Amino acid sequence: MKPKEEEAKNEGDGVAKSDSSEIPSLLVNTAQLPQPISQAQVQQISPSALAYLGDAIYELYVRMFFLLPQQRPESYHRLVVAQVRAETQALHLRSLTPHLRSNELEIVRRGRNAATGRPKRLNPEIYQQATSLETLVGYLYLTDYPRLMELLQKIHLEK
């Protein structure tokens, strides 16, 4: 196959899409986890542990968002860091708050109260809000994956 034909084939194979609506299908759904977690087990997980998980899921979502069009690794890093920093996460939480259900607001409250040991450069309120968002993401990842994707798609990420 000629290089131009192969390039055209690769462009049309549906893998390289920059549409953020494709991102959920690329993330792992909890139904595919090796050990399903029951609702009772989720309730026993501390808000700090949910934030730990949520931090990873949120960063993966942001990385997937910026993956296309292809860029240099330094550019990816700069774009992602701008979105996963505490100040931006706090803004994202504030933009999502009107869309949250009562049980989700309770998880946010639990996450805020669990936020300890903030970096010195940060206002404690900002750190609490960022931890709250991460806690919510971790919780929804384990309990309601479609709802998590619905909320993440409401976050305004700019390319």
Percent helix, percent strand, percent coil in the chain, to nearest 5: 70, 0, 30
Q: Say how far apart CA 54 and CA 47 lie, in whole Å.
A: 10
Long-range contacts of range 28-33, CB-CB < 8 Å, 24 or more positions apart? 29/145, 30/141, 30/142, 30/145, 31/145
User: Which is catalytic among the residues 13, 19, 55, 144?
Assistant: 55
Q: Is 55 a catalytic residue?
A: yes
What secondary structure letter does DSSP report for 153? Answer: T
Residue for token digits 């994202």?
92
Residue 6: CB atoms within 10 A of its CB come to 10
Q: Which residues are catalytic?
A: 55
